[in-house]
């Protein structure tokens, strides 16, 4: 789901005909390896000399030992045993300082980066403790020595939802002085927002105020975070493990060092089969309009084949889709710039063409501050230069919301640019995440999506969302989509048959379809209650017949709906919650899990406020105690949100 390098494969090399037969990846999957991993391993080992292959086998064995040990069925050669022993010695040589890695995450990227950092730290001989900020006990701060923090920013400068309590503590008066602490911050954000990486900036400032010492300057990452995140990770580990690095260098015998191309191949072989950087080319099975005639929205149900991928997911996970830009938009950008699509181009050290880069690799829709600054310099336009000043922050934000890249190119034309100059101001095209609306138990080797197609008018043109437009207009059956699974571990069905309350608006109902499919096929009991809202009953009751069948079959126990445009008074899911306050509270008191999926700006806060009111009144609790009640549910993973 991301570019983080995973721990090496837990296996070892060996000699002898039988061992070679057991482990030879050309024989297909074995020893728990998938077909994809075997293919990657074949690709790596084909380019290794015998000495290099022996060293790699020892490296893998040492990594397995670092991860907790493995009963190895194959005998290590002398060279691989030496490498494994050297790695073990490096672990023992680690410094005595305590290392803690904290992460705050919305989509899982920061968690993956933190786990990847921990993996590398363990390989270097350190013993990191990795903790979600939501689960961290702030009283432990006084005992920390080296603290690495990775956090994203949510909305307009806020911390990730689950990490809000940690931030509140740090910014409050109870936060202790930390003169003996060393720290470093990696901040993730989106430069299209005004308060770029603000959550990370807050932590960085606050820890400095509390007297802590920076190990490294904070690094702020845009949506293409992989490269700067990896550089930060390498730099911080170099600071922490200078002595271990020397010991590790001695583990590579002369003449056995991996080449610059072999080292990344080893990392790729150790990674998952398909991810953000290496998506699976999936065929579209079905693509139909789900919303009814007369609907004010276009909602699509898209079924995608995962056959042959070995991709697995759980209900609550998302599918990452790597879209392409609208070909008509690509053509217009090139025409306005008088550039030929066949023009050779270097993009991140890879050779491509301008047309390919604008179609598959670069964001050419959303105008970002980065592009605005770049175009201001290229065009020399006084209006754009004025928007760069601090005094015009609000006006700049308004301008960026009302202008896309093509609008700026049209309005402020620049002649004589070469292709490399143009792409220097563009950021990478990013995948879009869609909650999976199916269960593998019910639809093996498939993933279903519920997609709201974004369409709107701007400056006299009809525009579409990058990904939703692709799925609606260019993803007919048999078309191919690059996809990968994005795990969402904080939006999961309970392991037992406890009751569940599922609150969703619009396409936010998608994961609940997966939840109930899973429960039906596996025979997992437990009461279930769906609270669903949308605009109109006749046209927007998504999956209506499926819910009715599930009610009939007693898989779905109860359903309440709210359609905001059917009456003069707009009613939303939060009204249904308040109307059924006594039952909601009773379910919670009986141990129910509660889920919220939908709009982060309005729906989710309104639902949270309704739940707070319900707990306060039904439990006869003070407002602060009611808020603590819900925070307790969140800590216990009984109140889970997937909002966007």
pLDDT, averaged across the chain: 84
Q: What 8-state DSSP symbol labels residue 287?
A: E
Decide: helix, strand or coil at residue 503.
Answer: strand
In sequence order, the 6+-apart residues with CB closer than 8 A to the CB of 470 are: 321, 323, 324, 326
Contacts of 274 (CB under 8 A, 6+ apart): 36, 280, 309, 311, 483, 484, 485
**What per-residue confidence (pLDDT) applies to 393?**
85
CA-based max dimension of the chain: 81
Cα atoms in the Cβ-side hemisphere of radius 13 Å centred on 7: 19
> Quick one: how far is CA 422 from the chain centroid?
29
* Unique residue bearing structure tokens 């042959």: 308
Q: How confident is the model at residue 510 (pLDDT cuts 50, 70, 90)?
A: very high
Q: For the residues 120-136, what does the mean pLDDT come to? A: 93
* Per-residue confidence band for 30, with pLDDT thresholds at 50, 70 and 90: very low
Most confident of 4-18, 383-397, 501-515: 501-515
Model confidence at 413: pLDDT above 80? yes
Same fold, 99-240 and 500-643: yes
Judged by average pLDDT, the poorest of 22-36, 74-88, 396-410 is 74-88
Instruction: Indicate if the pLDDT at residue 7 is higher than 60.
Output: no
How far from 313 is each of 224, 446, 518, CA to CA, in Å? 24, 10, 12
Instruction: Return the percentage of the chain with pLDDT > 90, whole number.
Output: 70
Instruction: Please give the average per-residue pLDDT across 512-528, as a whole number.
Output: 95
Q: What is the CATH number of domain 500-643?
A: 3.40.50.80
> How does residue 8 score in pLDDT terms, banded at 50, 70 and 90?
very low
- Decide if 104 contacts 185 (C-beta within 8 A): no
pLDDT of residue 265: 38
What confidence score (pLDDT) does residue 96 get? 58
Q: What is the mean pLDDT of residues 414-437?
A: 95
Q: Region 314-327: what's the mean pLDDT?
A: 98
User: Lowest-confidence range among 428-437, 438-447, 564-573?
Assistant: 564-573
Integer Cα distance of 360 and 325 in angstroms: 7
Q: Which helix (H) or strand (E) holds 57?
A: helix 50-66
Burial of 501 per CB tally in 10 Å (0-12, 13-18, 19+): buried
Q: Is 381 left (phi over 0), alpha (psi -120 to 50) or beta?
A: beta
Greatest mean pLDDT range, 235-244, 252-261, 617-626: 617-626
Position 85 scores a pLDDT of 40
Does the pLDDT at position 150 exceed 90? yes
Distance CA 32, CA 12 (A): 13
The yes or no reply on domain 327-423 and CATH 1.20.990.10 is yes
Q: What is the pLDDT of residues 323-354, one digit of tens each?
A: 999 999 999 999 999 999 999 999 988 899 99
What per-residue confidence (pLDDT) applies to 40? 56
Domain 99-240 fold is: Rossmann fold (3.40.50)
pLDDT band at 95 (very low <50, low <70, confident <90, very high): very low
C-alpha torsion 38→41→46→47, nearest 10: 160
- The residue-averaged pLDDT of 625-630 equals 96
pLDDT greater than 70 at residue 247: no
Supply the pTM of this predicted model.
0.76
How confident is the model at residue 477, as a pLDDT?
97
* Residue 484 to residue 170: CA distance in whole angstroms: 36
Q: What is the mean predicted confidence (pLDDT) over 531-548? A: 97
Residue 154 in this model has a pLDDT that exceeds 60: yes
pLDDT for residue 428 is more than 70: yes
pLDDT digits (tens, 9 = 90+) for 454-508: 999 999 999 999 999 999 999 999 999 999 999 999 999 999 999 999 999 999 9
Q: Is the pLDDT of residue 216 over 60?
A: yes
Using alpha carbons, list the distances in angstroms from residue 450 to 335, 437, 488, 537, 596: 35, 7, 17, 18, 16
**Domains of the chain by residue range:** 17-92+254-270, 99-240, 280-323+431-486, 327-423, 500-643
pLDDT confidence band for 309 (50 / 70 / 90): very high
For residues 371-394, average pLDDT: 92
Conformation bin of residue 343: beta by default, left when phi > 0, alpha when psi is -120 to 50: beta
Half-sphere exposure of 269 toward its Cβ, with a 13 Å CA cutoff? 24
User: pLDDT value at position 41?
Assistant: 61
CA distance 386 to 395: 10
- pLDDT tens for residues 38-64? 555 655 555 554 444 444 554 454 444
State residue 388's pLDDT score: 87
User: Which CATH architecture does the domain made up of 280-323+431-486 adopt?
Assistant: Beta Barrel (2.40)
């Amino acid at each position: 789901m991301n570019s983080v390098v995973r721990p090496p494969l837990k296996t070892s090399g060996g000699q002898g005909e039988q061992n070679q037969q057991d482990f030879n990846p050309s024989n297909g999957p074995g020893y728990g390896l998938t077909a994809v991993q075997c293919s990657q391993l074949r690709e790596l080992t084909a380019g290794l000399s015998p000495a290099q292959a022996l060293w790699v086998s020892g490296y893998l064995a040492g990594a397995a030992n670092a991860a907790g040990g493995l009963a190895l069925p194959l005998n290590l050669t002398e060279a691989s045993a030496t490498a494994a022993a050297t790695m073990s010695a490096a672990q023992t040589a680690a410094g005595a300082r305590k290392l803690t890695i904290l992460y705050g995450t919305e989509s899982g990227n920061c968690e993956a980066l933190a786990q990847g950092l921990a993996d590398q730290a363990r390989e270097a001989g350190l013993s990191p403790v990795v903790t979600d900020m939501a689960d961290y006990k702030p009283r432990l701060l006084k005992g920390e020595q080296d603290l690495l923090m990775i956090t994203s920013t949510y909305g307009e400068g806020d911390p990730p939802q689950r990490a809000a309590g940690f931030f509140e503590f740090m910014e409050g008066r109870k936060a202790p002085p930390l003169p003996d602490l060393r720290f470093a911050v990696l901040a993730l954000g989106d430069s299209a927002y005004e308060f770029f990486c603000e959550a990370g900036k807050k932590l960085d400032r606050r820890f400095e105020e509390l007297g802590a010492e920076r190990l490294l300057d904070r690094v702020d990452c845009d949506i293409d975070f992989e490269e700067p995140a990896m550089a930060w990770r390498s730099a911080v580990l170099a600071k922490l493990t200078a002595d271990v690095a020397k010991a590790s260098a001695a583990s590579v015998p002369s003449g056995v060092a991996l080449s610059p191309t072999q080292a990344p191949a080893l990392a790729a072989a150790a990674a998952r089969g398909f991810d953000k950087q290496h998506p699976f080319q999936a065929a579209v099975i079905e693509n139909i309009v789900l919303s009814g005639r007369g609907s004010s929205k276009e909602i699509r149900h898209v079924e995608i084949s995962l056959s042959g991928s070995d991709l697995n997911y759980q209900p609550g996970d998302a599918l990452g889709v790597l879209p392409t830009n609208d070909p008509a938009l690509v053509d217009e950008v090139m025409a306005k710039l008088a550039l030929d699509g066949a023009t050779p181009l270097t993009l991140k050290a890879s050779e491509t063409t301008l047309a390919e880069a604008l179609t598959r690799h670069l964001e050419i829709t959303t105008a970002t501050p980065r592009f605005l600054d770049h175009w201001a310099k290229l065009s020399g336009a006084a209006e754009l230069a004025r928007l760069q000043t601090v005094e015009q922050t609000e006006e700049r934000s308004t301008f960026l919301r009302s202008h896309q890249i093509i609008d700026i190119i049209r309005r402020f034309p620049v002649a004589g640019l070469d292709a490399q100059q143009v792409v220097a101001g563009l950021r990478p095209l990013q995948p879009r995440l869609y909650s999976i609306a199916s269960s593998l138990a019910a639809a093996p080797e498939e993933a279903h999506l519920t997609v709201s197609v974004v369409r709107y008018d701007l400056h006299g043109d009809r525009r579409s969302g990058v990904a939703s437009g692709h799925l609606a207009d260019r993803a007919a059956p048999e078309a191919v989509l690059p996809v990968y699974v994005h795990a969402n571990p904080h939006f999961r069905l309970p392991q037992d048959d406890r009751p569940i309350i599922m609150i969703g608006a619009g396409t936010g109902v998608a994961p609940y379809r997966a939840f109930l499919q899973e429960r039906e096929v596996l025979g997992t009991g437990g009461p279930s209650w769906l609270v669903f809202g949308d605009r109109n009953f006749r046209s927007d009751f998504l999956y209506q017949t499926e819910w009715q069948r599930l009610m009939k079959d007693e898989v779905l126990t109860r359903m309440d709906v709210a359609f905001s445009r059917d009456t003069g008074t707009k009613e939303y899911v939060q009204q249904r919650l308040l109307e059924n306050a006594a039952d909601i509270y009773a379910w919670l008191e009986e141990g129910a899990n509660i889920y919220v999926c939908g709009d982060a700006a309005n729906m989710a806060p309104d639902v949270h406020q309704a739940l707070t009111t319900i707990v306060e009144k039904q439990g006869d609790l003070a407002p602060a105690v009611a808020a603590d009640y819900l925070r307790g549910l969140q800590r216990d993973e009984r109140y889970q949100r997937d909002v966007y």
